[in-house]
Structure 1
Amino acid sequence: MIVEAAGRLFFASGFARVSMDDLARELGMSKKTIYRHFPDKRSLVAAVLDQKFAAVERTLVAAAEDAEGQPFGVRVQRFLIAAGSELGRIGAAQLATGRGDVMLRDYVEQRVDAVIYRRVDELFRDGHRQGLLSAPPELLSEITRGALERLLTSQLPLELDSTAADLLRATVDIVLYGAIRSVDPGNRR
């Protein structure tokens, strides 16, 4: 109950703006009761983030299961779109790059690495082992990491009237399939 309420407040107002007094008021209990379960605000924030990242992980597992048996490009695309959508929903990129508690930023970066990037690395290594990728999997992983992080913190989605997930889908298509379209030699402009 405490973690649920803290999550609602933290994500609505921002971690730094919510005090333990605010949370106690929201829950109708004393701060002392909250502190019996969580020794400090940082441990409560970690519990909230653990809950959020567990939900992200469940979504990614479901996306991977749904894409099982699909062509490799479809599997990569579905995984990355799910990852981008989920990370955007919880504001992970802003948490990892924003001002504030260094330990919080480090924690978010570690969770993103464990939940998202290790799976991306495995997916690309698997594709490389199957002979489906001509580029080194490490290069594709690095490009994908950079695109994901940049699109989640960029103003480009707003400028292009699109979501970060939509732009990530386009980025994945470009990385996996190339940016140059086949042109009929007789129909060049």
Structure 2
Amino acid sequence: METEKVSPVSDQARAELIVDAASRLFLAPGPGRVNMDDLARELGMSKKTIYRHFPDKHGLMTAVLDRQFGAIERKLVAAAEASAGQSFGARVERLLIAAGGELERIGAAQLATGRGDAVLRRHVDERIDAVVYRRLDELFREGHRRGLLAAPPELLGEITRGAVERLLVSGLPRDLGCTAADLLRTTVHTVLHGAIRPGGANEQEAGS
């Protein structure tokens, strides 16, 4: 019969411990697959105890992802507050660099494209859209309303989405000895800054 040490911690605290360990194991970089047996060994508790808090691996992974995306959301809020009053380009850059760095750290793109089942991949997509891209789209629409963008906000949103998602799964950061967030910064300068009219709506375009 499977036994384990009984801990005086509360059910809520034990659930948090499980999510902590699951985050370390399931979101670790690399192709290795981790199962519930590995998690039980890491925690020093039975699978029965884990399943008492989370009925299956899918439910546990959803809790792990929701916690990670909650942390990403807090980072984006902090980035927005830190860039308040700065130029439009600086605000977009701070948002994207914060998002790219956090998504790279938790391996969200790898989860979305390779790990887990279809339901979890869809959950990752939905959370990235809600936490990151809706904020980005709102910022682009603001820039368009203020006359700061020479390109449609929808186009800039698609270009930036593609850059974020591609850089997170590309081997280019490794090949160049940098992070995906570093390359995303360069992408922002290359693509986005070329779409911002110097001086905004108050400056006439050259040749007009």
Aligned-partner Cα distance in 2 for 1:13–1:51: 18
Structure 2 unaligned regions, length at least 5: 1-16, 196-208
- The 5-angstrom pairing of residues 166-185 of structure 1 reads 166-178=182-194
Cα offset for 1:10? 1.1
Structure-1-length-normalised TM-score: 0.89
Q: Hey, what's the Cα distance between the residues in 1 that align with 2:171 and 2:32?
A: 23
Tell me whether 1:59 sits opposite 2:58 in the alignment.
Answer: no
Compared CA separation, residues 14 and 21, structure 1 to 2 (3 A): farther
Against the structure 1 CA distance between its residues 14 and 106, is the aligned structure 2 distance closer, same or farther, given a 3 Å change threshold? farther
The reply on whether 1:28 has 2:44 as its aligned counterpart is yes
Amino acid of the residue matched to residue 149 of structure 1?
E
Letter in 2 for 1:32: K
Distance 1:60 1:141 in 2: 17
Does residue 122 (structure 1) correspond to residue 138 (structure 2)? The answer is yes
Q: Is the 8 A contact 1:15 1:45 kept in 2?
A: no
Task: Describe the shift of the 1:50–1:100 C-alpha distance in structure 2 as closer, same or farther (beyond 3 A).
Answer: closer
Pick one of 143, 153, 156 that aligns with 1:140: 156
Q: Which amino acid aligns with 2:189?
A: D
Return the structure number with greater helix share.
1
Q: How does 1:75-154 map to 2 (within 5 A)?
A: 75-154=91-170
Q: Partner amino acid for 2:145?
A: R
Query: Match for 1:88: what amino acid?
Result: E
> With structure 2 as the length reference, what TM-score do the two structures score?
0.81
Whether the 8 Å CA contact 1:16–1:100 is kept in 2: the answer is no
Take 1:176 and 1:79, find their aligned partners in 2: how far apart are those partners?
A: 13
In structure 2, relative to structure 1, the CA distance for the partners of 1:114 and 1:166 (3 Å cut) is same
2:19 alignment partner AA: V
Q: Which has the larger radius of gyration?
A: 2
Mark the CA change 1:132 to 1:65 in structure 2 (over 3 Å): closer, same or farther.
same
Structure 1 residue ranges without an equivalent (≥5): 180-189
Q: Alignment identity in percent?
A: 72
Deviations 1:58-92 (A, max 9, x none): 11110111000000000000100111101000111
Instruction: Work out the CA distance in 2 between the residues paired with 1:128 and 1:143.
Output: 16
What residue identity is the alignment partner of 1:170? T
The alignment of Structure 1 onto Structure 2 pairs a total of residues equal to: 179
